[in-house]
Each structure stands twice: as C-alpha cells, then as structure tokens.
C-alpha cells in the first residue's frame, strides 16, 4: 500500500510557473536570475499559505541549476536539481527561527556561512518565521546580513513584517506576497480534482476557496477533508454540511422576508440559523456581505467583482433587481452598526433581532427615511391605537400632543399658587389625569413633559390658547374615560399614603430620602403643598410627580388630589439630627443627663 501524501505536499509547486497567484513576484525573480542581478538578502512576507517558503526553495534551486531552461526555470535533471529534489542538497539550508531564535543559534549560522558551496555557485540560507528572532539575535545578525560572502544568499520569510526591526528591513529586498484570489484557488482545486479523479461541483470548490481566506495550503487541507467526507464526490450541500458554513439559501430567504416586510418570517429564519449553532456575529457579518454582493450585482460591470459560481451569480443578479439602491445602502448601514456594537451588547440576541426588525421596516419607506432616522427610530411591528384626551370644560375632542409640543407648551409653568390657579385646580385635575395616561402610553418617555402636565401646581388654562393648532387632528379621536372618584381624606391619611409610597422605593434611594425629608401639608380638601429646601430637590420631585400623584389618587380614592412644590425658608425645614444634636437637645431640657454622662464616662456610639 502506497503511503498517502496530503495534497498540500504532493502538489507543492516545484517551478515558478506552477506557483499560483503570485505572477508579479515570480516574474521579478526570474528576470533577476536571467540578468544575473541577485541581491544578497531577500525578505518574503505575506499571509500564511501563499507560497513564501515555496518560492524561496524554487529560487534557491534555480540559481544553482547548471542547465536552466529558456524561460529561466530549473531543469530538474542536473546534479544540483536532483540533489535538491531528493532533499540531500548541501547548498540549501533551512532554519526555523521559531525554535532557533537565540544569539547562539545565529552565531552558529554565521560560522556556517563561511563555508563555500560544494556543488553549484551559491549557499542559500532560508530563515522561516524570522520575526521570532530575539532582539539580541537580530543585532548579532546585522553585520553578516549586510556584508555576507559572495557565495551566500539569505532569504527571510515572515507572516508579520511589522515585527522586523528597521535595520533588517533596510538590508533586504522586500517582496510582499498577496492573498490568492478565489478564482485562482478554484482553478487550482479543479486541476487537482481532475488529476485525482474526484468529481467536484464548481459551487462546492468556490465555498472551499472562500473558507480558505486566500491561502492555498488551507484550501488544499480543506479539499482533502471534504474528499474524505464525500468519498470523492464533492457537492455543494456536502461542503456546507462538513464545513458548517451558512448556506446562501438562508441569506436569500432572509432577503425575501425583509423585502416583504415580514418580521415574523425574518425572526423565525434567524432562530433556525441560531439553532444550527451559528454565532450571532457570524450571521450579521454574513448578511452585511450578502447586501454588499447584491449591491455589486446591481450593475453588470461590477458583477464580475462577485467571486462565486455562475449559477449563484445569476440568482444574486435576479434578487438585486428587486432591491433599490437606497434600500441596500440603508440595509448595509444598519447591519454594519449592529456588527460594530454586537460585542459590547449584554443582550446580543435582542440586538440582532432589533437589527432585522429595522431591516424589515426599510421595505416600506427606504426612499424617504434618512440613514440617521433608520438608526435611531424603530416603528411598531403592529399598528398602535391613538390615546385621546378631551377638554374638561367644553367637551371638545383634542389629540394628545407630541412630546416636543408638550415640552414647548408647558415649560416653566410650574409656579407658586395664586388665586386664579387655586380656582382652576379642581376643574383641571381630571384632564391632567387623562393627559398622564396618554403620556405613559407614548413611545418615548419624556420626563419633563409628563411631570409638567400631571405635576400639580400646573394651570392648563394658559395652554388653551394653543388648542386651535391641534383642532384638525382632534376630529379623528375619541375622548378618554374619567373615573371621577372624590373620597374625603385627612392630613394623617395623606402622610400615611405618602410614607407607603416611600417605603416601596427600595431601589431608588435618592427619591426615598427626599420624600422622607419633605412631608406634605394639606391646604384644602384636594390640595396639598410640599416645601423643599433647594431647587434641586424641587426639580427631583417634579420629575417624579406623575408617579407620586398616581399612587396617592389610587390609595386615597380621590382623583382631584393636587400637589404644589415650593422652596421654603431654611427654618421651615426640619433637617434630620445627628446623635450628638439629639443628645444636646435633651441636655437643654434636662441638664442632669450631662452630669450622669460625665459621672459614668458615657460616650455616644
């Protein structure tokens, strides 16, 4: 039984002509050999598996060949070429800098450089992963690298050029190897499949090439794996299953759901994808690339940039005809924003679902909605009903104002009570409660607006002059229902209800402390006042007045309860006393306590 050799070794290029995807570099090296203009040091850098070490070996074999061909390739027949092919050449020395990175290893190499070649003209030293050398090893290598013997040529290979010190870079000719294109990898895989008698679908080879990410060695390793899985019959479906790659079909189904605006279908497909074990960020990056490919396929001239099989390209072109440019621009932006914020999100699945909901909403108004609105606004999935209010005096219908209008109309109307305000409290309170319900049902919470309308001490009589501006919108609305509770209560019951609300604020310590410090004082049967010591406390209670009043009205069974806030004189506020202040006050009333404390040596804890 013959020993099995993996494709990456069996089909490793042995001539410049067989190197895939690096035509510019191989042509440069061949011309240098032809003109006998060889540098003493080369640096080959680029991603893994693109041919750096392979080109170094071919270059070393070719410059020592005794009978080069007309196109400056090695003959593979002379003594030097045969020795190289049989891996017994003394002219070519390879050093792995990852495991030989010390100063002593470089000193040993320097001593070896002095020995001339036994066969051929040059000793070639290939140092792989040269970026792994220590700084001291680099420095000890500088002099030899700059002025080596005439028979010595150094070829340094690395995947991380930025780690090479500048003094090394300045002594070498630098060759940057590119990632191999998908088309070149597919062509090479098809050639190997034909040689090995393997049946392979073009779409399947395309998936392997994309998975390899520009590395031929990776592509050949995946190819061998898939051949074993399929027993020599490589199909698109088998490659998708074996490599756990997200199928194009999922992206097309998602696109159909997005174009039809079906949030339900979109979320179901997303759930199916996640249940197959795919990570969320992989999904969002995939749909971003999918929209990019659709945009590329919008024009026949750019469609050639899309590196896939012909059948899949035709499907992309057909789907692209159903998408407007505006839709694709906004879809790419939404998906890209989700991709950028995905790792920072604590609820990653929710972020993913919100992104797909926004994508579904683009199908309706992609031409009208700007990109900024698309990022920040999220329409309801189901049509929402409109909440209405009615004027408490004349019974005419009026639409709930938008948060911006409410903020504009009610700014700075919270004030100290005067006679006109006091008279209007009871008549306006019911309308205020209806407005509070409307505010709570709004899409965006607006603390300032809601507290100004329902925070008591507000007279809405000053707002009625603006009613005509909203009269047209009121014709389609229906008035809200009022409860009309008016139970009597005492100041003690009011304070008890106030304390009950305070006791429930276990997670809002600032509000709890403020309400413990300031207590309500009844002014009449439906009006009470809260005196605070500063503007900050007043504003804090204003922002939470909607919640406080709703609780008090429910607790006391009176919908006319009204609150006003004012800043009192310092002497009116009873600040909490420390233990020392409490003891001093007790001593003032009974001096014997101080004597008792002194005799027994008592101290406050």
Residues 206 and 288 grouped into a single domain = no
pLDDT, position 308: 65
In order of 392, 396, 471, 552, the CA distances from 431 in angstroms are: 6, 12, 17, 17
Q: Which of 132, 149, 176 is the last residue of a domain?
A: 176
pLDDT, position 380: 57
Enumerate residues 6+ apart whose C-beta is below 8 A from 226: 204, 208, 234, 238, 239, 242, 243
pLDDT, position 391: 42
pLDDT, position 231: 86
- DSSP-based three-state secondary structure for 309: coil
Residues 232 and 345 grouped into a single domain = no
Residues 270 and 293 grouped into a single domain = yes
> DSSP states of 15-36 as a string?
SGGG--S-HHHHHHHHHHHHTT
Helix (H) or strand (E) holding 175: strand 173-176
Alpha carbons 557 and 548: distance in angstroms, whole number: 14
Lookup: tokens for 367:
């031409």
Helix (H) or strand (E) holding 142: helix 135-146
214 close to 176: Cβ distance less than 8 angstroms? no
| Residue corresponding to tokens 């990022």 | 375
Residues 256 and 328 grouped into a single domain = yes
Give the pTM. Answer: 0.56
Alpha carbons 72 and 60: distance in angstroms, whole number: 13
Q: Which of 220, 243, 266 is the last residue of a domain?
A: 243
Alpha carbons 593 and 583: distance in angstroms, whole number: 9
Q: Which of 147, 176, 205 is the last residue of a domain?
A: 176
According to DSSP, residue 50 is labeled: S
Characterize 6-23 residue by residue with b for buried, 16 or more Cβ atoms within 10 angstroms of its Cβ, and e for exposed: ebbeebbbbebeebbbbe
Of the candidates 496, 485, 498, 495, the residue with the CA atom closest to the CA atom of residue 557: 485
* Residue ranges making up the domain that contains 396: 388-474
573 close to 518: Cβ distance less than 8 angstroms? yes
pLDDT, position 458: 38
Residues 23 and 146 grouped into a single domain = yes
The strand pairing partners of 528, in sequence order, are: 522, 563
In order of 424, 582, 586, 596, the CA distances from 589 in angstroms are: 47, 11, 5, 14
- For 298-354, the pLDDT digits (tens) are 887 777 667 666 677 788 888 888 888 889 999 999 999 999 988 888 888 999 999
525 close to 562: Cβ distance less than 8 angstroms? no
355 close to 378: Cβ distance less than 8 angstroms? no
pLDDT, position 309: 62
What's 233's domain CATH number? 1.10.8.60
Residue 427 φ then ψ, to 5°: -70, -25
- For 313-322, the pLDDT digits (tens) are 788 888 888 8
pLDDT, position 456: 38
In order of 13, 93, 153, 160, 179, the CA distances from 26 in angstroms are: 12, 21, 17, 21, 15
Report yes or no on 146 lying in a domain. yes
Q: How many domains does the chain have?
A: 4
Alpha carbons 299 and 321: distance in angstroms, whole number: 10
Helix (H) or strand (E) holding 342: none
Residues (pLDDT < 70) of the chain are 1-2, 304-305, 307-310, 364-484, 569-577, 605
pLDDT, position 221: 93
What's 289's domain CATH number? 1.20.272.10
Residues 292 and 424 grouped into a single domain = no
Report yes or no on 533 lying in a domain. no
Residues 159 and 63 grouped into a single domain = yes
Alpha carbons 271 and 274: distance in angstroms, whole number: 5
């Amino acid at each position: 039984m013959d020993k099995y050799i993996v494709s990456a070794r069996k089909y490793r290029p042995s001539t410049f002509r067989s190197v895939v995807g690096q035509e510019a570099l191989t042509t440069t090296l061949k011309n240098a050999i032809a003109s006998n203009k060889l540098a003493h040091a080369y640096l080959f850098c680029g991603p893994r598996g693109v041919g750096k070490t392979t080109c170094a070996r071919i270059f070393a074999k070719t410059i020592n060949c005794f009978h080069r061909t007309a196109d400056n390739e090695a003959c593979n027949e002379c003594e030097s070429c045969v020795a190289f092919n049989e891996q017994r050449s003394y002219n070519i020395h390879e050093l792995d800098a990852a495991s030989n990175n010390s100063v002593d290893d470089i000193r040993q190499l320097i001593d070896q450089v002095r020995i001339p070649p036994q066969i051929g003209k040059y000793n070639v030293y290939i140092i792989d992963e040269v970026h792994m050398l220590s700084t001291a090893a680099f420095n000890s290598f500088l002099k030899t690298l700059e002025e080596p013997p005439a028979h010595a040529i150094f070829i340094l290979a690395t995947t991380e050029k930025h780690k090479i010190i500048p003094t090394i870079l300045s002594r070498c000719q630098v060759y940057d190897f590119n990632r191999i294109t998908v088309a070149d990898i597919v062509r090479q895989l098809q050639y190997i499949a034909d040689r090995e008698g393997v049946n392979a679908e073009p779409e399947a080879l395309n998936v392997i090439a994309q998975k390899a990410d520009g590395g031929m060695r990776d592509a050949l390793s995946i190819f061998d794996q898939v051949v074993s899985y399929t027993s020599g019959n490589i199909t698109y479906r088998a490659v998708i299953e074996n490599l756990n790659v997200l199928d194009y079909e999922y992206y097309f189904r998602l696109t159909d759901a997005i174009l039809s605006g079906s949030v339900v279908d979109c979320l179901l497909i997303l759930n199916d994808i996640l249940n197959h074990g795919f990570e969320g960020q992989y999904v969002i990056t995939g749909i971003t690339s999918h929209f990019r490919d659709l945009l590329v396929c919008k024009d026949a001239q750019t469609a050639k940039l899309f590196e896939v099989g012909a059948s899949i390209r035709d499907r992309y072109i057909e789907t692209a005809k159903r998408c407007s440019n505006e839709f694709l621009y906004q879809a790419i932006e939404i998906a890209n924003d989700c991709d950028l914020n995905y790792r920072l999100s604590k609820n990653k699945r929710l972020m993913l679902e919100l992104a797909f909901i926004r994508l579904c909403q683009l199908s309706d108004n992609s031409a009208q909605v700007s990109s900024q609105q698309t990022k920040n606004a999220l329409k309801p999935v189901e049509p929402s009903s409109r909440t209405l209010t009615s004027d408490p005096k004349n019974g005419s219908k009026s639409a709930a104002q938008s948060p911006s209008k409410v903020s504009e109309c009610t700014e700075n109307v919270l004030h100290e009570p005067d006679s006109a305000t006091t008279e209007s409290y009871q008549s306006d309170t019911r309308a205020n409660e209806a407005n509070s319900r409307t505010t709570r049902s709004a899409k965006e919470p607006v603390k300032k607006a809601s507290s100004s309308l329902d925070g008591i001490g507000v007279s809405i009589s000053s707002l009625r002059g603006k009613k005509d501006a909203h009269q047209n919108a009121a014709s389609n609305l229906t008035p809200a229902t009022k409860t009309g509770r008016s139970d009597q209560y005492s100041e003690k019951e009011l304070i008890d209800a106030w304390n009950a609300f305070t006791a429930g604020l276990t997670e809002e310590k600032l509000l709890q402390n403020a309400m413990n410090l300031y207590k309500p004082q009844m002014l009449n049967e439906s009006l009470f006042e809260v005196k605070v010591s500063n503007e900050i406390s007043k504003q804090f209670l204003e922002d939470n007045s909607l919640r406080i009043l709703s609780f008090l009205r429910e607790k006391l069974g009176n919908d006319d309860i009204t609150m006003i806030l004012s800043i009192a004189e310092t002497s009116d506020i009873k600040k909490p006393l420390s233990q020392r202040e409490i003891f001093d006050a007790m001593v003032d009333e009974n001096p014997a306590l101080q004597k008792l404390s002194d005799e027994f040596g008592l101290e406050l804890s």
